Structure 1
Amino acid sequence: MVFKRLLGALGVGGPSVDTVLSTPTVYPGGAVHGQVNLVGGDRDADINGITLHLTARVEVEHEDSESHTVKEFAQLVVCGPLRLAAGQQVAVPFAFPVPWETPLTAIGSHHLTGMALGVRTDVDIAGQLDRGDNDPLTVQPLPVQQRVLEALAALGFHFHRADLEAGRIHGTGQTLPFYQEIEYKAAPQFAQRCNEIELSFVTDPHRVEVVLEFDKRGMFHGGDSVRTFLLDHAAGQHDLTGTVDGWIRGVLGH
């Protein structure tokens, strides 16, 4: 355990907090389980409440540049007011629902470079907000998402990079203020017609919208093309290589 001293309005000798995740690896639509551990300081302290936030490092595009910022995309009130006596130890368990649209940070044992998600603990003590460190969170794909990723790999597409972009994907049911793009270099059989494909998932409890953006080579089509395909979660029980191959050929032509 690594306790962080809450300085806030109480200064030196205030209470300490440590958030422990018992499920540091989760799936979209699942839950993060853990507990917030508090240890009283040199004197009694009034804590007005503890709130957890899911955070993500997001790219923001400007007219002539880009920057990164940390966005909160879900929160959970762990507890309301409590009085923490000097030296007292308190453990507050929690189950934090993870939104269905939560981006992926890993595929199997492979971490997606550039993805940074975490759980931040905010403690309101004596009317002053003390923001804790982010505890890293690993998000693995749902079965249907995994099948789509496996299909792209089987077809010869090579993972290049992933990022989160502020904004919305037009025409989808997206609810978060950002979306994930997983970028692949084109498979050899499509390389003359496509430079790369960017994949996004917009997921809810019933289905997954699979958004594919094709960076087409100018001599054949020119520009980008975006298509959205629908899958229900039951599709995660099947090999989707043929389905995904059909999507791509339908957009790029045979």
Structure 2
Amino acid sequence: MVFKRLLGSLGVGGPTVDTVLDPGPVLPGGTLSGRVELVGGGAAFDIEHLGLELVARVEAEHEDGEGEGVVAFDRHTVGGGFRLGAEERISVPFSVPLPWETPVTELHGQALGIVLGVRTEAAVAGARDRGDLDPLTVAPLPAQEAVLEAFGRLGFGFRSADLEYGRIGGTGQQLPFYQEIELTPPPHYAHQVNEIELTFLAVPGALEVVLEADKRGGLFSDGHDALSRFTVPHDGAGAQDWTGLVDGWVRQLVEHRASYGSHAVYGHDGHHGEGHHEGGHGGSHGGPGIGTAVAAGAAGLAVGVVGGMVAAEVVDEIGDFFEGDEEDDAGEE
């Protein structure tokens, strides 16, 4: 998808900048590639800087409730230091790495409701312009997809996904937010848990899986949250018995009320401080509210689409996100 914007601060006749991402989704820890295309205006200009900024729409809890905001989580310089002649066309290719913790936005081609964007920034003749946003699509790593498929085969369904501002205590988390994927339990777990919240924290050699269960209370006890963490390598994802592995995780999570995960994480002890997320996590979140659950045996976990409603909502969410961001830019200017 291409976005074009006139560098308005330079007035009529200024250069234009197009950002074109290569087609197809990218993977966490993978490479984002494309090109920045510039077309000269009525006069020559010095292109001092071309940069890319990765941004996400993130939920945050505060004293008055919950709110949403735009968080930049990675930046790269992709060009600059050259002169763009009048009406000259220059294409600047780029290839930049994505953070390993980049959230997953789709599964089996179906959107999960996570909104990410790539914003281009150009500094021309002393004027800095934050350009339009290009939606970023991220598919799961093989191990991430295998975990989600296993949950689907075990009868869990997809409820929602969102990004939460804050950190999960005791983990190797690097970004200022984390992704939560909320799953509904199958009938044989429904009397024990209301839902399971799943978070992936990837590094180059391994994938940390954080599971939190919103547990139902009994006749003489209150419900509470229980949290466990598990680490699996990226290598050998195809040979692993993921269904059996994930089933064991779930059983450990729901059957041991006082037990919290103690698996080693990234080479150090995995203690996580009472098993709660820092920075406002707790309880159930409504999420962006798109998609319905489809758990279909060997087909695994997927997001159901009701007519064209889901796709329309995704477009509306992206449009609202970008529109709000442009308003913020206007206020800064």
TM-score band, normalised by shorter chain: over 0.9
SS of match in other structure, 2:168: coil
Paired position in structure 2 for 1:252? 254
Show the counterpart of 2:324.
Answer: none
Residue aligning to 1:216: 215
Figure out how many residues of one structure are paired with residues of the other and give that number: 252
Aligned amino acid, residue 106 of structure 1 = E
SS of the residue corresponding to residue 235 of structure 2 reads helix
* Alpha-carbon separation, structure 2, partners of 1:50 and 1:182: 34
| 3-state SS, counterpart of residue 146 of structure 2 | helix
1:94: Cα distance to partner?
0.3
Maintained 8 Å contact 2:49/2:124: yes
Query: What does residue 8 of structure 2 align with?
Result: 7
Equivalent-residue separation in structure 1 for 2:118 and 2:187 (angstroms): 40
What is the TM-score with the length of structure 1 in the denominator? Answer: 0.96
**2:118 equivalent to 1:86:** no
What residue in structure 2 maps to residue 105 of structure 1?
105
RMSD over aligned Cα atoms: 1.4
- Paired AA for residue 19 in structure 2: T
Segments of structure 2 that go 5 or more residues without pairing to the other structure are 257-333
Structure with a larger share of its residues in helix: 2
Q: Does 1:144 align with 2:143?
A: yes
Equivalent residue number for residue 231 of structure 1:
232
Higher strand share: 1
- TM-score normalised by length of structure 2: 0.73
Write the letter of the residue equivalent to 2:230.
F
Separation of aligned partners in 1, 2:252 and 2:25: 36
Q: How does 1:118-157 map to 2 (within 5 A)?
A: 118-157=117-156
- In the alignment, the residues of structure 2 paired with residue 104 and residue 97 of structure 1 have an alpha-carbon distance, to the nearest angstrom, of 15
Q: Deviations over 1:146-165 (max 9, x none)?
A: 11000111111110000001
SS in 1 for 2:188: helix
Q: Secondary structure at the match of 2:148?
A: helix
Q: Which residue of 2 aligns with 1:240?
A: 242
1:51 equivalenced with 2:51 (yes/no):
yes
Q: Once superposed, which parts of structure 1, at least 4 consecutive aligned residues long, lie more than 2 Å away?
A: none
Structure 2 distance, partners of 1:31, 1:70, is 22
Pick which of 21-30 and 82-91 moved more.
Answer: 21-30
Partner of 2:28: 28
> In the aligned structure 1, how far is the partner of 2:182 from the partner of 2:236?
22
Shift in Å, 1:74: 1.0
